[in-house]
């Protein structure tokens, strides 16, 4: 059964198509022209184009449907992808597709947003080379998923899940959370993960994992960003166990690290193409590159302490992420350092109510456990595996992994590790 025929059957049965492709594939650098007929589709298309998964595509919209497209392409070359809305039934739509084919370039793909859920129409449209036929009503994510599938079918590589950790203020323990959650994910899922320390002048990942001599790390990756490939990238990583690798920060003040908005884009692309998980330790700064990174990753984890400054800053972060990522779930919240002696604290319930966001973990203040791990250059799971803190990090790992089950010790024929070639 073809993808479109399967979609028809799923629609008729009431079953919803899987959306996990949205977390694994992003729309590549393509040009898209969309021609709409109704205000409703115009609104949906605008929302889809603004989504983070479409950030690399250059998309424009025009009213008028296929008639406007035919007129436009009499004097303009066709883009990588044409999307047009049509209320036509089968025979009329086939005529529209045939007419569009006469003005389209060989490599141009075409998708239709239609108003009729008809299996015969689907099959006839496929026979004429249509990439996809979407039936109204539509959500923005449906359009993005269809474009992703179209270019996945054309050979797009599978990408790992990107996870950004950021603190609501300095000193809340975001780096500690990032390091321990990354280590927990490597252990829980037996899947390779890269922790990238983006705090170039003050990063702590090398200390956290007791790395005395890093293999180039983040400084070299940034220096050679234009020629960064799989081979060079692998040489810059430092292995910290069977599944854990770290891209360390130089932690040096000899140079100033002024990044543009796309500084880490190439690095993240290469990392995601090599491993199932990439964890980014984002420093507590508000620069263009930091904002861009937080808006474009698959999951954001905000670490906060139960105080007023953290509450205010967390609210600001959550608001801007909700606004900039309208088609994504809200960021995840971790409350850290709960129960510090003689410190006035906002109760976790009140903190959650103020943000309208429940924390996925509330980590008690256990200085002995954390200091012992830090002084020995080990993760909490290595030195206190049965502690409540270790269990909290495992809970966070499961909440952000995008997976519904943990790894087992059995290595079957279709093990996820084998699919990634790790």
The 10s digit of each residue's pLDDT in 27-54 is 888 999 999 999 999 999 999 999 999 9
What's residue 403's pLDDT? 79
What angle separates helix 308-324 from helix 288-296, to the nearest 10 degrees? 70
- Could you list the beta-strand ranges (E) of 143-221: 161-167, 193-197
Q: How many residues does the chain have?
A: 422
- Cis preceding linkage at 236, omega within 30: no
- Of 313 and 28, the structure prediction assigns the larger pLDDT to 313
* Adjacent-strand bridge partners of 281: 165, 197
Binned at pLDDT 50, 70 and 90, residue 202 comes out as: very high
Residue 419 has pLDDT above 80, yes or no: no
What's residue 406's pLDDT? 64
Least-confidence region, from 156-160, 265-269, 415-419: 415-419
How many whole angstroms from its chain centre is CA 181? Answer: 17
CA-nearest of 38, 45, 92 to 65 is 38
CA-nearest of 200, 189, 194 to 179 is 194
- Summary mean pLDDT of the chain: 86
What's residue 13's pLDDT? 40
Q: How many C-beta atoms surround the C-beta of residue 92 within 10 A?
A: 12
Indicate the burial class of 419 (C-beta count within 10 angstroms; 0-12, 13-18, 19 or more).
exposed
Return the residue matching tokens 């115009």. Answer: 42
Residue 302 has pLDDT above 90, yes or no: yes
Residue 284 has pLDDT above 90, yes or no: yes
Residue 9 has pLDDT above 90, yes or no: no
What's residue 158's pLDDT? 66
What's residue 153's pLDDT? 57
Binned at pLDDT 50, 70 and 90, residue 405 comes out as: low
pLDDT tens-place string over residues 315-368: 999 999 999 999 999 999 999 999 999 999 999 999 999 999 999 999 999 999
Least-confidence region, from 206-215, 370-379, 398-407: 398-407
Which tokens belong to 254?
A: 């000899």
What's residue 415's pLDDT? 35
Q: How many whole angstroms separate alpha carbon 336 and alpha carbon 177?
A: 9
Q: How many C-beta atoms surround the C-beta of residue 242 within 10 A?
A: 10
H or E stretch including 96?
helix 90-101
């Amino acid at each position: 059964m073809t993808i479109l025929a399967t979609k028809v059957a799923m629609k008729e049965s009431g079953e919803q198509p899987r959306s996990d492709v949205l977390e694994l594939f992003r729309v590549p650098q393509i040009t898209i022209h969309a021609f709409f007929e109704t205000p409703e589709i115009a609104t949906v298309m605008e929302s889809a184009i603004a989504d983070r998964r479409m950030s690399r595509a250059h998309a424009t919209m025009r009213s008028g449907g296929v008639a406007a497209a035919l007129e436009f392409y009499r004097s303009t070359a066709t883009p990588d992808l044409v999307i047009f809305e049509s209320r036509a039934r089968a025979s009329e739509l086939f005529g529209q597709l045939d007419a569009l084919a006469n003005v389209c370039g060989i490599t141009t793909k075409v998708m239709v947003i239609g108003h009729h859920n008809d299996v015969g129409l689907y099959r006839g449209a496929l026979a004429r080379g249509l990439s996809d036929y979407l039936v109204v009503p539509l959500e923005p994510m449906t359009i993005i998923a269809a474009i992703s599938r179209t270019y996945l079918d054309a050979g797009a590589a599978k990408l790992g899940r990107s996870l950004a950790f950021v603190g609501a203020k300095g000193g809340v323990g975001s780096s500690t959370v990032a390091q321990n959650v990354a280590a927990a994910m490597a252990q829980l899922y037996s899947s390779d993960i890269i922790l990238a320390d983006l705090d170039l002048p003050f990063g702590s990942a090398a200390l956290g994992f007791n790395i005395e001599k890093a293999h180039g790390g983040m400084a070299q990756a940034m220096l050679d960003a234009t020629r960064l490939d799989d081979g060079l990238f692998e040489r810059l990583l430092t292995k910290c166990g069977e599944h854990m690798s770290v891209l360390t920060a130089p932690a040096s003040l000899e140079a100033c690290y002024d990044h543009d908005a796309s500084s880490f884009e190439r690095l993240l692309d290469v990392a995601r193409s090599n491993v199932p998980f990439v964890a980014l330790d984002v420093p507590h700064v508000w620069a263009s590159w930091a904002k861009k990174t937080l808006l474009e990753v698959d999951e954001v984890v905000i670490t906060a302490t139960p105080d007023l400054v953290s509450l205010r800053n967390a609210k600001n972060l959550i608001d801007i992420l909700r606004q900039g990522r309208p088609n994504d779930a809200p960021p995840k919240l971790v409350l850290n350092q709960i129960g510090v002696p003689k410190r006035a604290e906002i109760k976790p319930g009140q903190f959650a109510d103020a943000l309208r966001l429940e924390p996925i973990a509330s980590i008690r203040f256990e200085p002995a456990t954390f200091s012992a791990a830090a002084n020995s250059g080990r993760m909490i799971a290595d030195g206190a595996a049965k502690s409540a803190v270790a269990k909290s990090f495992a809970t966070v790992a499961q909440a952000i992994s995008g997976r519904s089950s943990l790894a087992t010790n059995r290595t079957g024929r279709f093990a996820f590790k084998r699919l990634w070639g790790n």
